[in-house]
């Protein structure tokens, strides 16, 4: 019985060339698939224009210091009925009223589901926005429309909110 071999005349240069081309072709194909899914599922950024914000980082720190000096405390609550409620108090526990807020609710894994909203004052120090969110973890960012003497928003808040499954 005679043994069957793949290359009865031996391995030639064209066999090596075809083998290398096939190997690297498969590598490039798999990398292309991975690259497509990586770029189409998550942009990778938490903020728009991070370079410019990085250039003004000292201004951001100064703004945070002014905000901490005010001592305002904001509590954000989401109700399954589709209502976001912000309760804002000063450092003495008194409600802060008379502000107008705009906000963005973003689903944590992607920015495709971002939704803008505006808050209206429901009671003294209580601000409400009507916004129906799907179950999952959301990042709520809000800021006041009123500007401080330095030209910054009077108050900013960024908080994660977990919206439970409804049965």
The closest alpha carbon to 148, from 156, 157, 140, belongs to: 156
Rounded to two decimals, the pTM is 0.63
Helices (H) and strands (E) in the chain, counts: 3, 7
pLDDT tens per residue, the chain (167 residues)? 677 777 778 888 888 999 999 999 999 999 999 999 888 876 666 667 788 888 888 888 887 788 788 888 888 999 888 899 999 998 888 988 888 899 999 987 777 788 899 998 988 889 999 989 888 889 999 988 776 666 667 788 899 998 888 76
- Distance CA(51)–CA(65), nearest Å, equals 22
For the chain, domain boundaries:
11-41, 50-163
CATH 3.40.718.10 holds for 50-163 = no
Distance of CA 125 to the CA centre of its chain: 27
């Amino acid at each position: 019985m005679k043994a069957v071999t793949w290359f009865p005349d031996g391995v030639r240069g064209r066999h090596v060339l075809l083998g290398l081309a096939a190997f690297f072709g498969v590598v490039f194909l798999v990398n292309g698939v991975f690259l497509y899914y990586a770029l189409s599922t998550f942009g990778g950024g938490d903020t728009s224009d991070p370079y410019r914000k990085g250039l003004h980082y000292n201004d951001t720190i100064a703004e945070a210091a002014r905000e901490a000096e005010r001592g305002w405390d904001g509590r954000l609550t989401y109700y399954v009925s589709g209502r976001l409620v912000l309760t804002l108090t000063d450092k003495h526990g008194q409600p802060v009223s008379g502000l107008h807020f705009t906000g963005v609710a973003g689903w944590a894994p992607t920015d495709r589901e971002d939704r803008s909203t505006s808050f209206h004052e429901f009671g003294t120090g209580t601000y409400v926005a009507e916004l129906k969110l799907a179950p999952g973890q959301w990042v709520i960012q809000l800021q006041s429309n009123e500007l401080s003497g330095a030209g910054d928003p009077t108050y900013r808040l960024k908080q994660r909110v977990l919206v439970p499954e409804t049965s």
